[in-house]
Amino acid sequence: MYELEDTYWWFVARRELALSVLRRAKLADATLLDVGCGTGAGQSAFSEFGTVFGVDFSQEALEFSGSRGLTLLAKANAEVLPVQAGSVDAVVTLDTIEHVPDDAAALKEIARALKPGGLLLMNVPAYMFLWSPHDVALMHQRRYTVSSARRVVADAGLEIERASYHVFLLFPLVLMLRLLGRIRRGEPSATLPSVPGWASSLLKALMRFELSLFQKVSLPWGSSVVIVARKPR
């Protein structure tokens, strides 16, 4: 992840989507919490909006984040965040909540951390019919639909502003890869297929075109679910 997060098309597309949402929210001099910060590329990018704190349950991930020069880091899980109630302007959690045994508790904890009017941006994998050894290797607990993701966020007391699928245009490719993964033998493994430079550039361009669609309409299907919500004022 550390080697690919800055350049691999999927990581780039996910980060550009998050940046787009945060820019449209007009955040400035804000306090942000990156829940499940991984190896730190997102936390670095989000610093344009203010002060960003990173939380991850993996010590190894935090060490990679530290190698980027990041210091505002804490080892914790999403169900018990080491922050005061009502202390952050925005929480970003990208492909993290699906790992958490109690996603309802995690969303309630995020709601606790947010200031009134604070923003949540959540990205999670979509559709249980896409479940494959890839999910097992990544220790996923579940995949979501827009409806199920909306429900767990709303049950935490947050108000939904946007709910959409993502990776819409490339969904047939993702579906094919996941189905092929089911018929392979051997130990479950996480797969990020390598692509040549020209294909990587093409995929990034395609995802930027999809982002322009996402900014205008909610997408009807995709391999990820995106939720944007706020804590009531």
Pairing mode, strands 224-230 and 159-166:
antiparallel
CA atoms of 208 and 183, how far apart (whole Å): 32
CATH code at 9-230: 3.40.50.150
212, pLDDT greater than 80: yes
Chain segment 59-100, per-residue pLDDT in tens? 999 999 999 999 999 999 999 999 999 999 999 999 999 999
d(CA 38, CA 11): 12
pLDDT tens digits, 142-162? 999 999 999 999 999 999 999
Q: Is 189 left (phi over 0), alpha (psi -120 to 50) or beta?
A: beta
pLDDT attached to residue 178: 82
Instruction: Please say whether the beta carbons of 153 and 120 come within 8 A.
Output: yes
Task: Work out the pLDDT band at 18, boundaries 50, 70, 90.
Answer: very high
Q: What is d(CA 64, CA 40) in angstroms, rounded to the nearest whole number?
A: 7
pLDDT above 90 for 9: yes
Q: Measure the CA–CA gap between 110 and 201, rounded to whole angstroms.
A: 35
Q: What is the mean pLDDT of residues 182-209?
A: 84
Q: What is the DSSP letter of 215?
A: T
pTM of the full structure = 0.94
